[in-house]
């Protein structure tokens, strides 16, 4: 399990990025929302997509789930 957050500020391409708690690119507290302790980045993306669209995984901390 890992703790996941979503950046609540959209990127320039409109995507909202999902990070895990240890990522160096994690945005400051006021610009992120806690998603929970989640087993995989795929599950974290699904959860994030209930609140934000479109979502993508961070290429640095969740590269396995990142869609280029
Ligand atoms: Zn990240």
Total of domains in the chain: 1
CB 38 within 8 A of CB 2: yes
- Distance, CA 67 to ligand 1 centroid (Å)? 13
**pLDDT tens column, 7-56:** 999 999 999 999 999 999 999 999 999 999 999 999 999 999 999 999 99
CA distance between the termini of the chain: 24
Instruction: Dump pLDDT digits (tens) for 17-29.
Output: 999 999 999 999 9
pTM here?
A: 0.96
Pairing of strands 16-20, 55-57: parallel
Cα(46) to centroid of ligand 1, in Å? 16
Largest pairwise CA distance in the chain = 30
> Is the bond leading into 54 cis (omega within 30 degrees of zero)?
yes
Contact 1, 39 (CB under 8 A): yes
- Domain residues for the domain of 51 are 2-65
Task: Please tell me the distance between residue 24's alpha carbon and the centre of ligand 1 in angstroms.
Answer: 7
């Amino acid at each position: 399990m890992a703790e996941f957050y979503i950046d609540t500020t959209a990127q320039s391409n409109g995507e909202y990025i999902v990070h895990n708690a240890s990522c160096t690119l994690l945005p400051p507290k006021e610009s992120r929302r806690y998603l929970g302790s989640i087993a995989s980045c795929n599950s974290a993306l699904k959860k994030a997509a209930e609140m934000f669209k479109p979502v993508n995984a961070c290429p640095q901390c969740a590269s396995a789930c990142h869609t280029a």
